Chains A and B, each alone.
Chain A
Amino acid sequence: MQRAVRHAIPRAVFRRVLEAIAVALILATICFALVHAIPGDMALRIAVSRLGVENTSPAAVEQIREAEMLSRPLIAQYGDWLRAVATGDIGRSFVSGRPVAEELLGASGYTLRLAAMAWLLSYAFALPLGIAAGLAPNGALDRATALAAAALSSLPTFMIGIALISVFVLSLDWLPPAGYRRTEHLVLPATTLALGLVAPSVRIIRNAVVEVQDATYMTYARIRGFGRIKAFVRHGLRNASIPIVTFAALQFAYLMDGFLIVETLFNYPGIGDAMVKALLARDVPVVMGCALLIGTSYAVISLLADIICMALDPRLVDEGHGSR
Chain B
Amino acid sequence: MPRNIWLAALIAAMFASPLSAFAQDELRVVEPFQLQRLDTQTGGFQLRANGVTETLVQTNPEAAVLPALAERWETSADGLNWTFYLRPGVTFHDGTAVTPETVAASFKALLPKGNLIKNAKIKDVISGNGTVTFTLEQPFAPFLAYLLDPAVPVLAPSSFGPDGEVTAIVSTGPYRIESAELPQGLNLVRHDAYWGEVAKIERVRVDGVPNPETRVNIALAGEGDLVLEIPTTAMARVDRSGEAKIVRAPVPRVVMMLVNVKKPQFADVGIRRALSLAVNREAIAGTIMGSAELAANQYFPPAMKGWHFADFKPQTFDLKEANRILDELGWVRGADGVREKDGIKFAGMMRAFPQRAYLPVIAEALQAQLKEIGFDLTIQVGESSLIPEAQNNGTLELGLGIRTMIYQVPDPVARLTTDFGTDEPSTDATGATGWKSEAMREAVAAYNRTSDPAERLPLQRKMAEILQDELPVIPITFTDEKYAISERLEGFVADPVMQTRPLDHLSFKE
Contact = CB atoms under 8 A, between A and B. Distances in A.
Whether chains A and B associate is yes
Interface of A: 38-41, 44-45, 47-58, 60-61, 95-97, 109-110, 112-113, 116-117, 165, 169-170, 173, 176-183, 186, 264-267, 269, 277, 280
Nearest to A113: B14
Interface string B261-291: 0000000000000000000000000000000
B214 A178 contact: yes
B14 A116 contact: yes
B42 A51 contact: yes
Q: How large is the interface on B (under 10, 10 to 19, 20 to 34, 35 or more residues)?
A: 35 or more
Contacts of A165: 217
B428 A112 contact: no
A-B pairs with the 4 shortest C-beta distances?
A: A177-B217, A56-B427, A55-B115, A177-B221
Contacts of B221: 169-170, 173, 176-177
Contacts of A269: 183-184
B407 interface: yes
A44 B427 contact: yes
Contact of B22 (A44, A97, A181): A181
Given A44-B389, A265-B214, A181 B18 contact: yes
B18 A109 contact: yes
B37 A60 contact: no
Interface of B: 11, 14-15, 17-20, 22, 34, 36-37, 41-45, 113-116, 151, 182-184, 207, 209-211, 213-214, 217-218, 220-221, 223, 382-386, 388-389, 407-408, 424-425, 427-428
B182 A96 contact: yes
B428 A53 contact: yes
Given A40-B389, A179-B207, A60 B36 contact: no
B218 A178 contact: yes
A61 B14 contact: no
A75 B103 CA distance: 47
A51 B428 CA distance: 12
A116 B183 CA distance: 24
Given A39-B383, A169-B220, 13 more contacts: A41-B389, A44-B388, A48-B427, A50-B37, A52-B41, A55-B113, A56-B428, A58-B424, A95-B37, A112-B14, A165-B217, A267-B207, A280-B383
B425 to A, nearest CB: 5
Contact of B427 (A39, A58, A186): A58
Contacts of A57: 115, 424, 427
A54 B407 contact: yes
Given A44-B389, A176-B223, A267-B207, A54 B115 contact: yes
B37 A55 contact: no
B180 to A, nearest CB: 12
